[in-house]
């Protein structure tokens, strides 16, 4: 069976390697981005370049969006020269952005009126997972659309979970994931702070607790970066802050009390105030260092 022609919109840290993996898997991919560097890189991989999101839709069977935030998804899908102006019945749209569940529902309803199925399919795994094709993908939307898109997801990820048919359910799951990421990272920062203030060997401490019940992805991957004072992003402070704002919004809608998220959100504000908004989330340690009057180095 012939492969669907794919469109990919959003060629940033995640979108570029995801596009490359799809091209390497033999898919025809037409791309568009709101800035030029991502376009140039994906063109070098073999992608075709469109002049607008509308043109991407006109020349694709399945359109994937991977942009920054809810307003960006709304713009590229429902806005002027957006995807919705180029779609036709029988297509599918897959939004892999982390965005508002309410916006996912709104976009899904608009596309359904045009005979187009939509999946909200945010991912976890960062740029390393995007490069390796090992992302965890959380999918909300119709099962028949998921079945059609499963070969595409199998190129991009290794753990694809259908959360439910309800639009936005993938997004809610991703927000739960972000709670875990933020609070686990806060725990890593506090663990390192106590160890540093106590004068013990930080590398040995990390090795010891990583193998036990306190072990986590954040500890194993970001702990060593903190020790090396490596704050370059796989996932930026400003992006986790966007996600935590979405968490707080969803919490308000569902009358959920999330005190840990509120604390992490405020501590990340301190990191942003120091001009580190485009650094990796591990820069959270700088806020804890201030409070403890210490500096953590391996």
Residues known to be catalytic: 174
Distance CA(131)–CA(135), nearest Å, equals 9
Distance CA(99)–CA(84), nearest Å, equals 18
Is the CB of residue 152 less than 8 Å from the CB of residue 4?
yes
CB-CB neighbours of 240 under 10 Å: 23
Is the CB of residue 47 less than 8 Å from the CB of residue 30?
yes
Helix (H), strand (E), coil (C) string for 49-100: ECCCHHHHHHCCCEEEECCCCHHHHHHHHHCCCCHHHCCCCCCEEEECCCCC
What are 144's two structure tokens? 């028949």
Distance CA(259)–CA(240), nearest Å, equals 17
Residue with structure tokens 């210490």?
A: 294
């Amino acid at each position: 069976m012939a492969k669907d022609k794919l469109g990919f919109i959003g060629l940033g840290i995640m979108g570029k390697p995801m596009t490359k993996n799809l091209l390497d898997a033999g898919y025809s991919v037409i791309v568009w981005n709101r800035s030029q560097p991502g376009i140039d890189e994906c063109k070098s991989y073999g992608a075709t370049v469109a002049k607008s999101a509308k043109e991407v839709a006109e020349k694709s069977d399945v359109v994937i969006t991977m942009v920054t935030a809810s307003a960006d998804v709304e713009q590229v899908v429902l806005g002027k020269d957006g995807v919705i102006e180029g779609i036709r019945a029988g297509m599918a749209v897959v939004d892999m952005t982390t965005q508002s569940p309410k916006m996912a529902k709104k976009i899904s309803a608009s596309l359904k009126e045009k005979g187009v199925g939509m999946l909200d399919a945010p991912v976890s795994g960062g740029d390393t997972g995007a490069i390796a094709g090992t992302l965890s993908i959380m999918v909300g939307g119709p099962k028949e659309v998921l079945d059609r898109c499963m070969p595409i997801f199998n190129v991009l990820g290794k753990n694809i979970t259908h959360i439910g048919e309800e639009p936005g359910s993938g997004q809610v799951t991703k927000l739960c994931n972000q709670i875990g990421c933020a609070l686990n990272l806060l725990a890593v920062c506090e663990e390192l702070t106590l160890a540093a203030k106590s004068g013990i060997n930080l590398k040995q401490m990390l090795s010891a607790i990583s193998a036990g019940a306190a072990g986590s992805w954040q500890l194993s991957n970001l702990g060593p970066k903190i020790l090396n004072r490596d704050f370059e992003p796989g996932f930026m402070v400003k992006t986790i802050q966007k996600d935590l704002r979405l968490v707080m919004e969803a919490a308000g809608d569902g009358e959920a009390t999330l005190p840990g998220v509120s604390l992490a959100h405020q501590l990340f504000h301190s990191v942003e105030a120091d001009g580190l908004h485009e650094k990796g989330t591990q820069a959270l340690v700088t806020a804890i260092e201030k409070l403890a009057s210490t500096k953590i180095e391996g």
